[in-house]
Structure 1
Amino acid sequence: MEEPKSEKVVGLDNGIDQPSNEAEHEFYVDPVKEVKLLAKLDLAFTPVIMLVYLSCFLDRSNIGNVKVARILTDINATNSQFSTAVSIFYATYVTFEAPAAIAMKKVTPRVILTTLCLVWSLTTIFTGFIQSIGGLYATRLILGVCEAGLFPCLNLYLTMVYRREEQAKRVSYLFSCTALSGAFGGLLAYAILQMDGVSGVAGWRWVYIIEGIFSTVIAVVVFFGLPNDPSNAWFLSDEEKEMMRFRNAQRKQYLGSEEFSWEEICIAAKDPKVYMSGAIQFMQDILLYGFSTFLPSILKAMKYDTLQSNYLTIPVYIWGALVFLCVAFFSDRWSMRGPMVIFANIFGIIGYILLLTVKQNGVKYFATFLCAVAVYVGPGINLTWLNVNVAPHYRRAAAIGFQQSMGNTAGIVSGQIYRNSPYTLGNAFSLGALCLSQFLILGKIFYIKRENAFKEAVRAGKKSDKRKVTTGDRDVEFMYHI
């Protein structure tokens, strides 16, 4: 094939031009040097992104760790009121997700992420001083406002750095932090609860105070660690910055314009993919929030004591993180999303069936490992599935915000279904959500295959394209990942 005369070359040793499938302009990036560039980006961004999300989920889910301590007695709360405190967080959380994602580029990633992190850190510290259930309600509502923007913004930030076929692995880092925060949270809570009575302060109060201080330090790391423009990060050499610009040029259709557009927001609001993804995310998040918040309580219902019910969560969460990293690797390699979630959900279905039917605690504990596979793989890969199939930037920002708002309303449900030991209602509801999710995923796969077939027919001249929107991901050259 004749080499294009307009081609520009970066990092070329003796390679052959292999332009990206997303390229509208013919730029070449040497694949060997690109691997080194990606490794450098991962080493720079991944620790910061993982730390901030770790601290976020730690401050959100530690309410599950302190429940098995003395918090209910100290603030004169009932189990029902405590469940309301868990759920009320999501009232503000789901409200502010879409606005935060849309505003990120305008406000700049550094400013919005640092501010959110700092405010929720202070809120966590103040939670250690509450005296009533009303105080817990107030801090949970504020926490929901601040944490609402974090995940959509971090997720959107990743799409500014990585190609479509590189994203599942990076999103897996975020959801691995969800799992690791459970492991680290259980370990940290186990250690901090030993401080019960130190300076006349209850152990559960020390959990909030110390974890809040930790998050405050992370806010400083975020400010200095995440540049507003990843393609011009201070740690990149001139050649690497040029490679980043060429990578962005190759996927210009995916990134889109820097200018805000209400039209793109409206297109996202009418996109069937967003609502199908949101419905799947809702089902998967019922597991995520129920499991990650109430696992210590589920274990305590198996007759483990307070400390055991915290440290026994650690291997379960670590297992969930490792499995997700493995699944995400193959998801990117094969550009396959939906079938990976279906596969992971099978393990979760078996796990919840065991929790509901067996009596032996050892088997029940093993079942939590099976559940963890679906708990973390499902929401993460499903979100990646939406990430890679929506373009350009502002359409994607709105889609991510809308999807997360729909999915995270599951947090309200999870707080209500896990009310009383042995949590039969919560586990049965989670099992039902998993089964329904399988059918929703199959439906979305069918829809995407139909859309891809239509685009192929238009390109082949077999059908005429009468759609009103033919830009971004609606372009006939833009093929959706299954």
Structure 2
Amino acid sequence: MPSVASFKERPPALAEKAGCSSESGSGSDAAESLAALAAEVLDPAKERKLLLKLDSVFVPIVMMVYLSCFLDRSNIGNVKVAGMPADIGASPAEFSTAVSIFYATYVAFEAPWAILLKKLTPRFLLTALCVVWSMATVFSGFITSVGGLYAARLVLGACEGGLFPGLNLYLTMVYKRDEQGKRVSYLFVCTALSGAFGGLLAYVILKMDRVGGYAGWRWVYIIEGILSVLAAAVVWFCLPDDPSDAYFLGDKEKHMMRVRAAQRARYMGSGEFSWEEVRITLEDPKMWISGAIQFCQDVLLYGFSTFLPSIITSMGYGSLEAQYLTIPVYMVGGLSFMAFAYVSDRLCVRGPFILLANAFGIAGYVLILCPTANGVRYFGTFLCAAAVYNGPGLNLTWLNVNVAPHYRRAAAIGFQQTLGNTAGIVAGQIYRQAPYVLGNGFSVGAIGLAQFLVVAKWAYVRRRNDEKRRIQTGEIADERSIKTGDRELDFKYHL
């Protein structure tokens, strides 16, 4: 297979037929100026330098805001082992409901926020959401009842529901198809880092127990909420609404961004919202299969990331000890995802890497469930981490690169995430009592189902690629009703 760089030296339509990196083709109905830009050949060395500059600015911002988001969402697992349920009089069932109720508003707002991102502008929408959920986290430190916890979690879910699809969609406005896997991996690395950093931060903050008359778990909420307010300020002042006209780019770099935008014009599509694109999305089997896979993988993600301290405690470790024992597990999960995403981008292959990561997860959950030594069961959590982060991340990237144009992709991301994140409701109910046999057993079953769904989706997109090839070669007539966006004949789906 030729290198990824070599594809970038060819006109878009030829590159797509040669390999994996083209996004648009050279549509005959495109404006002459757009066609001229799309045909322009960028110097590979200068384009790599541009990518490095984009990464140096966008990646830290994206990672910071998503890190704060997931930290505020998952810290309920840290405060649980620190005595929060007893302090507010929450029973195990009520605490599980508090974990699950977050996803009621989270999934309800994901698709609307994703679709509204362009209209409201990324900078305004993401900053506003970040400020509101930050304040909800701070006020969580002052709750005194189960009702207050429920209210805080509902507000948190409504705001955080717009962040992941928003950031993910923003990345598609900056990077090409073969560049996205690694960048989306940064978001899921933040999920892992939030667990590692959250465990370390909680370990330190819990030592503030009774400072100012407040329990340690209250300080966890207050301090982490304040940190998220700072992240909102960074988004407001540093995230440009139009990446191609970013303040940190020179004139030549802005021209290169316009060329890159033209080369993926059909991939991005019109800037005008269209309900027709939403309808096409809802009729697309790729989106529904992807949503089902995401649901299965998110059962792992939300169960593992929220209850890992409790799972480790159930192995016989102390509550404070469990906080820092989560750190290496999360780090291994994040690093494994970066490695998988990098190779996945290089090969433009997604499905097989999900299958491989899930195989590690199955082995890990089996070790946790078996009556083995605590050290062996703890080792199992490291194997689980590979599936926990690779599965959802690679599956989302797989959808990103296979749906076009912009609003069709925005709707697909929103609906897929809505379907997937309903798993958070399930995760809160299956992890109720130690030693969490139900939760871990349900999780390994979810991975097994995901394996079958991944194979089904791989077979489906392979069949669609073959259908396009046969139409191009004249073997069969083109009787498809939709022929735009990712249905263009020179748009090759990633397997």
Sort the TM-score into its range (normalised by shorter chain).
Answer: over 0.9
Partner of 1:162, secondary structure, is coil
Among 431, 436, 455, the alignment partner of 1:423 is 436
TM superposition shift of 1:64: 0.1
1:259 to 254, 263, 272: 272
In the TM superposition, residue 16 of structure 1 has moved relative to its aligned partner by: 10
Q: Is the 8 A contact 1:27 1:249 kept in 2?
A: no
TM-score normalised per structure 1: 0.96
Match of 1:86 in 2: 99
Q: Which residue of 2 aligns with 1:11?
A: none
Quick one: distance in 2 between partners of 1:36 and 1:19? Answer: 20
Mapped pair 1:383 → 2:375 = no
Contact 1:184 1:314 in 2 (8 A): yes
Instruction: Give the Cα–Cα distance (whole angstroms) in 2 for the partners of residues 396 and 150 of structure 1.
Output: 16
Structure 2 residue 305 is the aligned partner of structure 1 residue 292 = yes
Q: Sort the Cα spacing of 1:17 and 1:417 in 2 relative to 1 into closer, same or farther, 3 A.
A: closer
Q: CA deviation at 1:359?
A: 2.3
CA apart distance, 1:358: 3.3
Task: Classify 1:125/1:17 alpha carbon distance in 2 versus 1 (closer, same or farther; 3 Å).
Answer: closer
Contact 1:97 1:405 in 2 (8 A): yes
Return the offset for 1:199. Answer: 0.8
The answer for the alignment partner of 2:11 in structure 1 is 19
Cross-structure match for 1:47 = 60
Contact persistence 1:53–1:151 (CA under 8 A): yes
2:242 alignment partner, one of 222, 226, 229? 229
AA at the equivalent of 1:98: A
Mean Cα displacement is larger for which, 141-150 or 357-366? 357-366
Q: Determine the C-alpha separation between the residues in 2 that align with 1:74 and 1:363.
A: 34
Q: Which amino acid aligns with 1:36?
A: K
Aligned residues: 468
Distance 1:358 1:27 in 2: 63
Report the secondary structure of 2:108's partner residue: coil
Paired letter, 1:212: G
Q: Aligned AA for 2:130?
A: C
Partners of 2:218 and 2:243 lie apart in 1 by: 39
Contact 2:267-2:404 at 8 Å conserved across structures: yes
Match in the other structure for 2:487: 474
Residue 86 of structure 2 is aligned to residue 73 of structure 1: yes
Deviations 1:408-433 (A, max 9, x none): 00000000000000000000000000
Query: 1 CA distance for matches of 2:230 and 2:247?
Result: 22
In 1, the alpha carbon distance for the partners of 2:113 and 2:85 equals 33
Instruction: Please tell me the residue identity of whatever aligns with 1:18.
Output: R
Within the alignment, does 1:348 sit opposite 2:361 as a pair? Answer: yes
Shift, 1:17, TM fit? 4.9
1:251-287, Cα deviation, whole Å (9 max, x unpaired): 1110101111111111111110000000000000000
Q: Deviations over 1:451-480 (max 9, x none)?
A: 000000000011111111100001111110
Are 1:61 and 2:74 matched, yes or no? Answer: yes
Counterpart contact for 1:58–1:182, Cα < 8 Å: yes
AA aligned to 1:263 is: E
Instruction: Confirm whether residue 314 of structure 1 aligns to residue 306 of structure 2.
Output: no
| 1:179-190 → structure 2 map (5 Å cutoff) | 179-190=192-203
Identify if the C-alpha distance between structure 1 residues 300 and 16 changes in structure 2 by more than 3 Å, giving closer, same or farther: closer
Q: Deviations over 1:291-334 (max 9, x none)?
A: 00000000000111111011100000011010100000000000
The alpha-carbon deviation at position 443 of structure 1 amounts to 0.4
The equivalent position to 1:211 in structure 2, one of 220, 224, 246, is 224
Structure 1 stretches lacking a partner, 5+ long: 1-14
User: What's the CA shift for 1:235?
Assistant: 0.4
Q: C-alpha distance in 1, partners of 2:371/2:234?
A: 46
The 2-side partners of 1:82 and 1:396 are apart by 36
Could you tell which deviates more after superposition, 405-414 or 73-82?
73-82
Contact 1:54 1:181 (8 Å CA) reproduced: yes
Moved over 6 A (4+): none
2:190 corresponds, among 177, 198, 201, to: 177
CA distance in 2, matches of 1:77, 1:129: 15
Of the three residues 109, 133, 142, the one matched with 1:96 is 109
- Give yes or no for contact 1:182–1:292 (8 Å, CA) kept in 2: yes
Query: Contact conserved, 2:181 with 2:341, CA < 8 A, in 1?
Result: yes
Task: Determine which of 191, 196, 200 is the counterpart of 2:204.
Answer: 191
The AA in structure 1 aligned to 2:253 is: E
Question: Aligned AA for 2:454?
Answer: I
> Residues 299 and 309 of structure 1 are in contact (CA less than 8 Å); yes or no, is this contact kept in structure 2?
yes
Contact 1:348 1:375 in 2 (8 A): yes
| 2:373 alignment partner in structure 1 | 360
Answering whether residue 427 of structure 2 is matched by residue 414 of structure 1, we say yes
Give secondary structure in 1 for the equivalent of 2:248.
Answer: coil
Could you tell me which runs of 5 or more consecutive residues in structure 2 were left unpaired when the two chains were aligned: 1-6, 16-21, 27-34
Are the structure 2 counterparts of residues 454 and 39 from structure 1 closer, same or farther at C-alpha, using a change threshold of 3 Å? same
Task: Supply the RMSD in Å over aligned alpha carbons.
Answer: 1.0
Partner of 1:330: 343
Q: CA deviation at 1:73?
A: 1.4
The counterpart of 2:456, out of the listed 443, 461, 467, is 443
**How far 1:224 moved relative to its partner?**
1.3
Q: Report the AA paired with residue 122 of structure 1.
A: M
How far apart, CA to CA, are the structure 2 residues paired with 1:281 and 1:226? Answer: 28
